[in-house]
């Protein structure tokens, strides 16, 4: 069974688009609109089961991307985390947090390849 992805983004259009892209590539995706909700999902034995990758936005209300990832790491989450941002300078906000930082927009093919690489799987193809 393939690892599930937790997608964290307060922008409903962007999260729906990324979810559709990832699901079209055969991935199971959970969506949270903010960092605190994402942490709740990860702690829920059923909802958080099998999550092997987190993709998060940088700018979010209540808990920013750096705050979310810091808390995620503090709580012992060791699996890959991808941070997406439109701000190149934001990468420095994640020093020492072991994230993969990518600038938006990230085209669908690049997103799928990145996820497959981080999860150690080859891209699935359909006829």
- In the block, tokens 């080859």 appear at 122
With H, G, I as helix, E, B as strand and everything else as coil, classify residue 90.
Answer: helix
How far, CA to CA in Å, does 45 sit from each of 30, 36, 56, 84, 112? 14, 16, 21, 27, 27
Q: What residues are paired with 31 via a beta bridge?
A: 7
At 66-92, the pLDDT tens digits run 999 999 999 999 999 999 999 999 999
**Residue 67: half-sphere exposure toward Cβ, Cα within 13 Å:** 10
Residue 125 in any domain: the answer is no
Residue 23 in any domain: the answer is yes
Residue 62 in any domain: the answer is yes
Residue 123 in any domain: the answer is no
Residue 110 in any domain: the answer is yes
pTM summary value? 0.92
At 108-117, the pLDDT tens digits run 999 999 999 9
Q: Residue ranges of the chain with pLDDT lower than 70?
A: 1-2, 122-127
Residue 65 in any domain: the answer is yes
Residue 15 in any domain: the answer is yes
Tally of structural domains, the chain: 1
Q: What is the span of the domain harbouring residue 114?
A: 4-118
How far, CA to CA in Å, does 37 sit from each of 14, 65, 85, 126? 17, 13, 20, 33
Residue 127 in any domain: the answer is no
| Dist. CA 2–CA 29, nearest whole Å | 11
CATH number at residue 18: 3.40.50.2300
| Dist. CA 33–CA 31, nearest whole Å | 7
Q: E strand or H helix at 82, and its extent?
A: strand 81-85
């Amino acid at each position: 069974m393939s690892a599930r992805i937790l997608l964290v983004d307060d922008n409903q259009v962007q999260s729906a688009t990324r979810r559709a892209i990832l699901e079209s590539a055969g991935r199971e995706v959970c969506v949270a609109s903010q960092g605190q909700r994402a942490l709740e999902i990860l702690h829920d034995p059923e909802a958080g089961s099998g999550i092997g990758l987190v993709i998060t936005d940088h700018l979010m209300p209540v808990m920013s991307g750096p705050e979310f990832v810091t808390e995620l790491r503090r709580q012992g989450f060791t699996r890959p985390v991808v941070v997406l941002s439109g701000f190149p300078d934001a990468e420095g906000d994640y020093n020492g947090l072991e994230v993969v930082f990518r600038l938006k927009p990230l085209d669908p093919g690049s997103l799928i390849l990145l996820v497959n690489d981080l999860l150690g799987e080859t891209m699935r193809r359909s006829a």
